[in-house]
Structure 1
């Protein structure tokens, strides 16, 4: 019986991106993984080893995975011969192949299935675009410096690590202090720079490398700044996300789509964040690949015609009410989550379901995947709802996909800044009489009163909501003047009755103009790939009692190489057949490698199992060959002329290995073959 090594770690992790806000630390994952906080600490210490004997610590497991990935060139630190640069990694040949396969499936699963409009926008972005989106002013983390060496650290990471270490390792901790540390972890994302600094001083937290004292926290913008053109007068940034390129192209994309909603635009591309202290390997890097979707929808109708396709899916969900009540995640049916109001709308729910199918078909363990709803302190003021697809790995729960209803914030922000109306319209079959709020600032009176600030005051008045405008109208009629906050000025001004006219007028309209809402699924591809590496990794016994063989159990969908071709021994007639099969595999579009070395067949199997090749063809006859399955190690005998079609059938997902086993005679390999002895 083959026993697989599996890992279940229950630690929290930071967010890979911050389109809305940062996720809160989660102390209680799903009941099947860790029912209580006490079990969390005990179970995080070790995991079962292959064969059920002994244990492997989370650090040892991670080291085994990382060592295999780097040794087999899935990825390596960038610029390694110069000492490397933290947060930058190169993908090697098998890593590139896995990444290409993941992205190809993403395009198939989302872009083709949903008829999305794919775009490819520049990585360098003018400052004005990111000023409008809020990134220039708000895309920051709080940083502290080692006062002697100048080394930089994220302030919240230091405080979080300190509290977690105390909770997990300090067995003399009093109940009062345990409650205090848990409270700090729960409110970590709400702490101001002053509050973070106070806690760091109170707990006497020092620089982890040198034990030197730390500076007070201060904001650090995570974007890489650059300039466009030789003069240096046109500031820009390396984009921190791909979404803004889609938003600024909305008008043209809407026209391209026949002026019809809903529609979605998609983009795959590089993004850049100047992380303060990159750690956790591929999970927190300075350059990474994002795949983002912006689904534009009428804010008054967020139903989805294909929601029925996913409504019966059931998986782990972690609604905010359960988080705030201290309960664990539970398995919920997606359709019920919509009908009960847990998920805000059908379109958001549809994408949650599609993300679940995408991740599980890639090879992510469905029992180590959950969808966590953002808490109130994480939600941006404009967001209607937001869920994160979190995957459990040796680093804890990692946010890999964010699925957010961002309302109309992004289009309105760019419309206000650029002056372009980024709107959609709905034509009426018959004209409709509607009541419409009309705000008419008196530019002459405002100019006399506010001079150079006139434009900012006018823009703020015109941007009032209906409720704000009616409240102002009532105040002006009763008092003749009212205090009005102009956000762009950062202060209140006095508006008098002669400065603005506010009326509700009846008009006949032939169409309705509106700013669409946006449902945004955003995928951190590198994070998904790393979690996939861990979920697919296991060890099984080798030739000797102490030997453990590394295996990546990639589904054929994402495996870097689909099959290998081995002549059993170095004979010209076998090598000729191997070349014939290789030619047929190439014609069928199947990635493969042909190995004509003199190594034992067992060693060749082990070498390709270690990079996750699902099938191996061994040429031991001139008219028929054996085909071996990587995980079961079962073999079947297939005619040479059929073998390429059999491999394609399995690797394309048309049939499973079990289906193929029924159709072809089994071939029994000797123990010596599998263990590495020369046949």
Structure 2
């Protein structure tokens, strides 16, 4: 028997040669002091260039059509990026669709023009852009103002000695549409003005942004040329359906319209009852003006949308009591309009009670969004919910909150949660003549009385001829009080009605008004819609930023601390050697992991184990198992945790059981350390 030893005494090695004492040693080597907090992930400041290099090197994503020069705003995901996004979406389905019994849809991308004409997207789904007056370069207006004012504030802070001079590396020199920081101290009142503008920038209209450009001499950062007046640019990609070109269409900018147009079928599927929710994951397209922020602003993207249909008279939620004590970071519209970005920590119950969040259903989804983002690895300290101000509200929304996540570019909207009221169903119903309503049997019939006008059509037709229709329409549009007044006038013998500039003399032989009793057993209403909308590309990128750090002892060793639930690969299998004698055991472990539902990869390259682990730390692989000569003989293997690099050891089946529970989130690493002994680099072999 021989002992593979790292840093152990001769006495200990002798002790381990005996299988009984070896078993005793392993069974007693437990972590009694394990603490994840000992891993210092912030010793090195975040360096975006290092993260970008890692993501490019490991092919998380890359510009599409790269060998043809690429197209701005279009990206391809590589193997780890595709797996990461798929895992995020799988967790999304569990967290939302399965948890709340939602009805899943998959609707078409290509959409006939009348749909978006009716929904208002053709007229109003637009951003403001400005053009360089000399070169014709196009810039998104609000982003231009933001970049220039932020650069001026950064220069002011440096002039006051409040910030260090940024590095002027080659990548920064090549970056376009980014205002240069000039070290100039601003007057205190100007600083306050700029901060106030930035706090409520989303609330400015196009003409107001144009006024800001003139007032503060905001120019194209690339050329220092003036820019023209803001113009609206519709963000939808236009197309045509069929060979004739007579059926215009659009690539959808959201999946929502597919839900609304299938509402009647969904309602029937749900046995005619509300509330209920439908959900969908799919591709959407937006022709962004200047997509220059990587995955944060793209022209083609995957989104997940939920449409929760609810009674407009009852927006309570049956599960709200389960979440009402959850504390959220809120930035409401009143704070923003005052020029501040101060976040308030508040329970969702208090926010709903005070009317800050409009209703329980909206509040419930804000909490569920918060829990989902934290579950997949978003730092809760860099997550907030910001309420839309009046001018930035979408044309269909009655209220809207964005889940914004902080990253290197600032706060970025990753999830929107809007109360769309009855807008969409109402406009589509009016356009098509199809009733998109709920018919609900009343427990107690409602008895009402109202005045009912009845024309003597034969006499009216003879008296007024073609104008008879105008008269009937005018009376039909009268409310209860107007009909009561008209009834009184007719009782006096005659009344006069004006319609479209014409006057009609009415007598009782032309029109009678009687009070009738009506019994209503069915209530008919158009449901309101609460809509959470997720941009998976933005979520994925911010997750990568939040997960990235460098080893304290070596800044060149980057790590992505992705949670096991979303990590592209869950387990790395590392055979000590590529010799054939390892193959059966490697295949056995791989098969057992696969049967346990755990995605693993084998790395049997010739590089050292340390380099193989370092490579997979960059891929976010949370666990690794090492198979060595002792594994072949003793049927044991070591289990390594990515962040701490600590290792445990145990029989293969025991390690796989622990791994399964770790990946499924049943236990965490400290709990695993109580199940398996620590591995300190020693195993006895013949």
For the criterion TM > 0.5, the same-fold answer is yes
Q: 2:119 aligns with which of 118, 133, 141?
A: 133
**Contact persistence 1:207–1:214 (CA under 8 A):** yes
Number of the residue aligned with 2:241: 228
**Tell me, what secondary structure is at the counterpart of 2:288?**
coil
Q: 2:187 aligns with which of 174, 186, 190?
A: 174
**Contact persistence 1:388–1:399 (CA under 8 A):** yes
**Contact persistence 1:334–1:353 (CA under 8 A):** yes
Shift of 1:480: 6.4
Number of the residue aligned with 1:540: 551
**Contact persistence 1:126–1:237 (CA under 8 A):** yes
Number of the residue aligned with 1:75: 61
How has the CA–CA distance of structure 1 residues 338 and 111 changed in structure 2, closer, same or farther, with 3 Å as cutoff?
same
CA–CA distance in 2 between the matches of 1:159 and 1:558?
A: 37
Q: 2:657 aligns with which of 645, 649, 652?
A: 645
1:289-308 maps to which residues of 2 (within 5 A)? 289-308=302-321
CA–CA distance in 2 between the matches of 1:350 and 1:252?
A: 26
> Is 1:311 matched with 2:324?
yes
Deviation per CA, 1:636-655: give whole Å up to 9, x if none.
11212333332211101122
**Tell me, what secondary structure is at the counterpart of 1:585?**
helix
**Contact persistence 1:476–1:497 (CA under 8 A):** no
**Contact persistence 2:204–2:391 (CA under 8 A):** no
CA–CA distance in 1 between the matches of 2:352 and 2:512?
A: 43
How has the CA–CA distance of structure 1 residues 199 and 656 changed in structure 2, closer, same or farther, with 3 Å as cutoff?
closer
Number of the residue aligned with 1:417: 431
How has the CA–CA distance of structure 1 residues 412 and 497 changed in structure 2, closer, same or farther, with 3 Å as cutoff?
farther
> Is 1:122 matched with 2:108?
yes
> Is 1:635 matched with 2:647?
yes
CA–CA distance in 2 between the matches of 1:370 and 1:619?
A: 44
Deviation per CA, 1:63-121: give whole Å up to 9, x if none.
22222111111111111111111111111000000100011011111111111111111
Larger radius of gyration: 2
> Is 1:151 matched with 2:162?
no
Number of the residue aligned with 2:411: 397
> Is 1:207 matched with 2:223?
no
Deviation per CA, 1:478-537: give whole Å up to 9, x if none.
996789xxxxxxxxx769779999999642111100000111111111111111111111
> Is 1:666 matched with 2:678?
yes
How has the CA–CA distance of structure 1 residues 337 and 190 changed in structure 2, closer, same or farther, with 3 Å as cutoff?
closer
Q: 1:276 aligns with which of 277, 289, 311?
A: 289
CA–CA distance in 2 between the matches of 1:181 and 1:104?
A: 42
**Contact persistence 1:344–1:384 (CA under 8 A):** no
1:392-471 maps to which residues of 2 (within 5 A)? 392-434=406-448
Aligned residues between the structures:
599
**Contact persistence 1:476–1:482 (CA under 8 A):** no
How has the CA–CA distance of structure 1 residues 237 and 628 changed in structure 2, closer, same or farther, with 3 Å as cutoff?
same
How has the CA–CA distance of structure 1 residues 498 and 183 changed in structure 2, closer, same or farther, with 3 Å as cutoff?
farther
> Is 1:242 matched with 2:250?
no
CA–CA distance in 2 between the matches of 1:186 and 1:250?
A: 38
CA–CA distance in 2 between the matches of 1:416 and 1:228?
A: 24
More deviation, 595-604/311-320: 311-320
How has the CA–CA distance of structure 1 residues 506 and 648 changed in structure 2, closer, same or farther, with 3 Å as cutoff?
same
RMSD: 3.4
Number of the residue aligned with 2:33: none
**Contact persistence 1:4–1:538 (CA under 8 A):** no
CA–CA distance in 1 between the matches of 2:192 and 2:333?
A: 21
CA–CA distance in 1 between the matches of 2:83 and 2:111?
A: 29
> Is 1:593 matched with 2:601?
yes
Number of the residue aligned with 1:610: 618
More deviation, 125-134/585-594: 585-594
Normalising by structure 1, what TM-score?
0.81
Higher relative contact order (CA 8 A, sep 6+): 2
CA–CA distance in 1 between the matches of 2:366 and 2:238?
A: 34
Number of the residue aligned with 2:268: 255
**Contact persistence 2:40–2:552 (CA under 8 A):** no
Number of the residue aligned with 2:582: 574
CA–CA distance in 1 between the matches of 2:116 and 2:559?
A: 44
Unaligned ranges ≥5, structure 1: 7-48, 484-492, 671-679
Shift of 1:321: 3.6
Deviation per CA, 1:392-448: give whole Å up to 9, x if none.
111111111111221111110111111100000210234321357989999999996
> Is 1:509 matched with 2:517?
no
CA–CA distance in 2 between the matches of 1:283 and 1:64?
A: 18
Number of the residue aligned with 1:19: none
Deviation per CA, 1:443-483: give whole Å up to 9, x if none.
999996799xx9xx98x999x9xxx9579879999996789
Number of the residue aligned with 1:488: none
**Tell me, what secondary structure is at the counterpart of 2:392?**
coil
**Contact persistence 1:469–1:502 (CA under 8 A):** no
CA–CA distance in 2 between the matches of 1:194 and 1:385?
A: 24
Unaligned ranges ≥5, structure 2: 1-36, 157-183, 490-494
How has the CA–CA distance of structure 1 residues 469 and 224 changed in structure 2, closer, same or farther, with 3 Å as cutoff?
farther
Number of the residue aligned with 1:519: 530
**Contact persistence 1:567–1:596 (CA under 8 A):** yes
> Is 1:108 matched with 2:94?
yes
How has the CA–CA distance of structure 1 residues 461 and 613 changed in structure 2, closer, same or farther, with 3 Å as cutoff?
farther
CA–CA distance in 2 between the matches of 1:257 and 1:112?
A: 15
**Tell me, what secondary structure is at the counterpart of 1:352?**
helix
Shift of 1:192: 4.2
**Contact persistence 2:205–2:391 (CA under 8 A):** no
CA–CA distance in 1 between the matches of 2:588 and 2:435?
A: 61
**Contact persistence 1:541–1:548 (CA under 8 A):** no
**Contact persistence 2:59–2:80 (CA under 8 A):** yes
Shift of 1:229: 0.5
**Tell me, what secondary structure is at the counterpart of 1:204?**
coil
Q: 1:619 aligns with which of 613, 627, 633?
A: 627
**Contact persistence 1:2–1:540 (CA under 8 A):** no
**Tell me, what secondary structure is at the counterpart of 1:364?**
coil
**Contact persistence 1:294–1:521 (CA under 8 A):** yes
Number of the residue aligned with 1:87: 73
Deviation per CA, 1:247-267: give whole Å up to 9, x if none.
011011101111111110111
**Contact persistence 2:275–2:308 (CA under 8 A):** yes
CA–CA distance in 1 between the matches of 2:403 and 2:498?
A: 46
Shift of 1:301: 1.2
CA–CA distance in 2 between the matches of 1:497 and 1:429?
A: 45
> Is 1:160 matched with 2:146?
yes
CA–CA distance in 1 between the matches of 2:228 and 2:122?
A: 24
Number of the residue aligned with 1:531: 542
CA–CA distance in 2 between the matches of 1:343 and 1:495?
A: 49
Number of the residue aligned with 1:44: none
**Contact persistence 1:481–1:494 (CA under 8 A):** no
How has the CA–CA distance of structure 1 residues 593 and 254 changed in structure 2, closer, same or farther, with 3 Å as cutoff?
same
More deviation, 497-506/598-607: 497-506
Shift of 1:186: 5.0
CA–CA distance in 2 between the matches of 1:147 and 1:248?
A: 44
Number of the residue aligned with 1:386: 400
> Is 1:329 matched with 2:343?
yes
CA–CA distance in 1 between the matches of 2:512 and 2:569?
A: 70
CA–CA distance in 2 between the matches of 1:426 and 1:401?
A: 33
How has the CA–CA distance of structure 1 residues 244 and 447 changed in structure 2, closer, same or farther, with 3 Å as cutoff?
farther
